[in-house]
Amino acid sequence: MDYRPEVIERLTELWEGRDKGILKGSPELYNRYRAEAFTEFLRLGIPDRKNEAYKYTNLEKSFGYRYEKYFSPRPDDFREAERFHCEVEDLDVWNMVLLNGFFPRGDEGLAMLPGGIWVGSMRAAAKQFPSLVEKHYNRYAQNEKDGLVPLNTALATDGLFLYAPKNTVYTKPIQIVNLLHTTQDIFSQDRNLVVVEEGAQMSLLVCDHAISPQHYLTNTVTEVYVGRNARFEIIRVQNQHNDSGKITHTFIHQERDSYASSNNITLHGGLVRNATWHRLNGENAETHSYGLFLADKHQHIANFVKVDHAAPNCNSTQLFKGVLDENATGAFNGRIMVHKDAQKTNAYQSNNNIILSDTARMDTKPQLEIYADDVKCSHGATVGQLDENALFYLRSRGIDAREAKLMLMFGFAHDVIKNISIEALRERIDHLVLQRLRGELSRCASCAIQCN
Amino acid sequence: MQSEFLLQIKDLKASIDNKEILRGLTLEVKPGEIHAIMGPNGSGKSTLANVLTGREIATVTAGTVTFEGKNLLEMSPEDRAREGIFLSFQYPIEIPGVSMVNFMKTAINEQRKHRGLEPLSASEFLRQMREKKELVEIDSALTNRSVNEGFSGGEKKKNEIFQMAMLEPRLALLDETDSGLDIDALRIVANGVNKIRRPDTSVIVITHYQRLLDYIVPDYVHVLYDGRIVRSGGPELALKLEERGYDWIRKEADVSEETWTTDRK
Ligand SMILES: Nc1ncnc2c1ncn2[C@@H]1O[C@H](COP(=O)(O)OP(=O)(O)OP(=O)(O)O)[C@@H](O)[C@H]1O
Ligand SMILES: [Mg+2]
């Protein structure tokens, strides 16, 4: 039986009571798009496997669940969240803890970091930078048959706003620790906007931690504008649990001479789908999309990437890797689109996966659409086991089989991690991945709340 | 029961895909001895090295192998290494993402654990790395990379000997360590082996060329032909092979095989 009509009915109720309910006090700047978006959502629905981009991903496990609470956390949850200690926390970063995508102190104004970068809630941004928000909000997110994007536009209540004005440089990474913590099963949506203006530079680290055992589903939309000659890096570390669902849609729009890189490290999650869209909108821009996941049990991890070469002389790479054990399933769908006048495009894509059990499964699908003629494009995908020869080589030096396998998996994973530009962060993530491979990383291991 | 032999191989037979590659091989090595094994391509030299180190490409169908009196064939590859067997691979494997440093540290400490020793301190480990690097004149940059990744053929071979220097085995099997080395590198590697050796370290050198044996002077030279040692002698045998090739061995061996099979009937 189709689980979706009931879910849509619940969401429609929410929609109808929005002004007194979840969207109470929401700025007009965001509200003006909502009605059209909701209609669009109703038209497109919740994607099923007939949708090419969701061919290998069944959302029912997450969307079919009956959540007790939609969208807004309780004040109590915030208090507990503040006691959380993130594994990556002692890094030299500017750090902020959000709860299910929301700011603990709600409508407080934006904060300015040294160097002139602004950070705060979307609600605050609408008050403080209305014309900037108007210029960028909802400009880069594309629906393309995915109803979850308009669902977010229609009903997301708040999220993170980051703004690096022209030529501002903040050398430390900005870390957002996004906690999933609540006493009720919850479906939440956050909507984020990052604007990196001409010549500005920013690195953003987003750590998603589930710290309570409830069922979660998060549907996140993040729009990023990277101006001329600007530089932006985003690293996501997703550490959740088997009953959590995490759907992200990240739209990175780049102007000429800009650089952007995205790295999704999925350590743990019941159902995770990261969609990363890169649009190279001006000449001579460079973009990188990286991803790594480690999955076991009945987890499903999907990565969807689209790199849109809309201007000539741009370079792009996609490197995604997965390690799957037990009954885990994974999917990679990597698209490269080269527009007619995007000559001298260099586009590279690689997807490599290691399967450790007979029951794990990986589907990988490259899709290339090339309309220019002077283009260098390459893609390759592998799904295989650990290299027996390498395994033997390590064992022949006295390293036991278990440790040798671990070293190989780690080496495989490190290939993605090494692309993170911040050394301290690279080391920390290496360490987290190693812990995960050793089976030492759990929801409770990194939690100061000690609930059991 | 302490045997006078470090390694004893008796009538060893091994097959790959039901094809018998080692066909009754016997070889005994005492502590401190150097044995050279020569023989035409495909005669089973690397297969012997694989069987001794536990690589499951070939299946042992008959015979025994003991190492310091222990049944080697029952041990896992890692246990053989921990007992002191080291193979310098004919084709060293590239392992992207695994750093040389981490690889060596893990290998040394696992071997030390096996011997009931504490892990090496970081400074002692680095000191040894430095010292052994000098011994085989290996470029420091190489040990900062992933295992063998992007190394040239010669660099890979040097790296094998570097690992041997770090692990200090009781028995080293050098499978064509000389091939792919330029003349200087050959000298460095061969002298490296001599410097690493302690008086009781045994070495089995598999090679096609007499040249290596000018540096690493063997006590015995064996000819492996079609899965069996068909002739053994001193260093002069290597010279004779260099001069005359394998044809004469082939003729003799084929004759003796007939006699041998007839005898067995
Ligand atoms: N993995 C394998 N699968 C099938 N046959 C194999 C395999 N490895 C070795 N053989 C076969 O076993 C035989 C012996 O090979 P081996 O590598 O031991 O020879 P070798 O004496 O080391 O030769 P070379 O001097 O060329 O290194 C050859 O006929 C070879 O083709
Ligand atoms: Mg060989």
- B78 CB neighbours in chain A (<8 A) are 395-396, 398-401, 404
What pLDDT, on the 0 to 100 scale, is given for residue A77? Answer: 60
What pLDDT, on the 0 to 100 scale, is given for residue A39? Answer: 96
**Closest approach of B101 to chain A, Cα-based (Å):** 12
- A415 CB neighbours in chain B (<8 A) are 96-97
CA distance B182 to A116: 59
Can you say how many angstroms the Cα of residue B157 is from the centroid of all Cα atoms in its chain? 12
Q: How far is CA B105 from CA A317, B111, B123, in A?
A: 34, 10, 12
Structure token digits, residue A372: 């220019």
Structure token digits, residue B39: 């023989």
CA distance A387 to B148: 15
Q: What are phi and psi of A262, to 5 degrees?
A: -130, 135
Q: What share of chain A is helix, strand, coil (3-state, %, to 5)?
A: 25, 40, 40
Q: Is residue B12 in some structural domain?
A: yes
**What's the A251 CA to ligand 1 centre distance in angstroms?**
54
Identify the residue among A352, A354, A386, A396 best suited for mutation to test binding to B, counting B beta carbons within 10 A and taking the highest: A396
**Closest approach of A327 to chain B, Cα-based (Å):** 26
Q: Is residue B144 in some structural domain?
A: no
**Contact (CB, 8 A) for B157 and B187:** no
Q: Which atom of ligand 1 is nearest to the CA of B208?
A: 25
Q: CA-CA-CA-CA torsion for A389, A390, A395, A399, nearest 10 degrees?
A: -170
Q: Is residue B108 in some structural domain?
A: no
Which of B81, B97, B107 minimises the CB distance to A410?
B97
Partners of A94 in the β-ladder: A174
- A398 CB neighbours in chain B (<8 A) are 78, 81-82, 107, 110-111, 114, 167
The separation between the first and the last C-alpha atoms of chain B, rounded to the nearest angstrom, is: 35
Which of B77, B98, B107 minimises the CB distance to A411?
B98
**Closest approach of A388 to chain B, Cα-based (Å):** 10
CA distance A157 to A407: 44
Q: Tell me, what DSSP letter sits at residue A167?
A: T
Q: Tell me, what DSSP letter sits at residue A102?
A: B
Which of B12, B13, B15, B16 has most ligand 1 atoms within 8 Å of its beta carbon, as the pocket-test mutant?
Answer: B16
Q: Where are the alpha helices (DSSP H) in B182-234?
A: 183-196, 210-215
Q: Tell me, what DSSP letter sits at residue A283?
A: T
What pLDDT, on the 0 to 100 scale, is given for residue A22? Answer: 79
What pLDDT, on the 0 to 100 scale, is given for residue A222? Answer: 97
Residues measured by CB to lie within 5 Å of ligand 2, the ion: B 45-46, 90
Using DSSP's 3-state secondary structure scheme, residue A44 falls into helix
Q: Is residue B84 in some structural domain?
A: yes
Q: How many CB atoms lie within 10 A of CB A302?
A: 26
Single-letter amino acid, residue A249: H
Q: Which of B120, B166, B121 lies closest to B147, judged by CA? A: B166
CA distance A12 to B25: 80
For B228, the domain range is 7-95+170-255
Q: Is residue B175 in some structural domain?
A: yes
Q: Which residue in the block uniquely carries the two structure tokens 């003349």?
A: B183
**Contact (CB, 8 A) for A217 and A405:** no
Q: How many domains does chain B have?
A: 1
Instruction: Quote ipTM for the complex.
Output: 0.94
What pLDDT, on the 0 to 100 scale, is given for residue B265? Answer: 34
CA distance A164 to A225: 10
- Specify the CATH number for the domain of residue B11: 3.40.50.300
Within chain A, which residues score under 50 in pLDDT? 443-452
Q: Which residues of A262-292 are buried (b: 16+ CB within 10 A; e: fewer)?
A: bbbbbbbbbbbbbbbbbbbbbebbbbbbbbb
Using DSSP's 3-state secondary structure scheme, residue B239 falls into helix
Per-residue pLDDT of chain B (265 residues; tens, 9 = 90+): 467 899 999 999 999 999 999 999 999 999 999 999 999 999 999 999 999 999 999 999 999 999 999 999 999 999 999 999 999 999 999 999 899 999 999 999 999 999 999 999 999 999 999 999 999 888 888 888 999 999 999 999 999 999 999 999 999 999 999 998 999 999 999 999 999 999 999 999 999 999 999 999 999 999 999 999 999 999 999 999 988 988 888 887 776 655 544 433 3
Angle between helices A401-417 and A423-437 in degrees, nearest 10: 150
User: pLDDT tens digits for A163-184?
Assistant: 999 999 988 889 888 887 777 7
Q: Where are the alpha helices (DSSP H) in A91-199?
A: 122-128, 130-136, 148-155
Ligand 1 neighbours (beta carbon < 6 A):
B 16-17, 21, 39, 41-47, 57, 90
Q: Is residue B236 in some structural domain?
A: yes
What pLDDT, on the 0 to 100 scale, is given for residue A423? Answer: 87
A-B C-beta contacts closer than 8 Å: 80
Structure token digits, residue A200: 């500005």
Q: How many CB atoms lie within 10 A of CB A303?
A: 27
What pLDDT, on the 0 to 100 scale, is given for residue A239? Answer: 86
Q: Which residue in the block uniquely carries the two structure tokens 């040394």?
A: B108
Q: Is residue B127 in some structural domain?
A: no
Q: Is residue B22 in some structural domain?
A: yes
Single-letter amino acid, residue B57: I
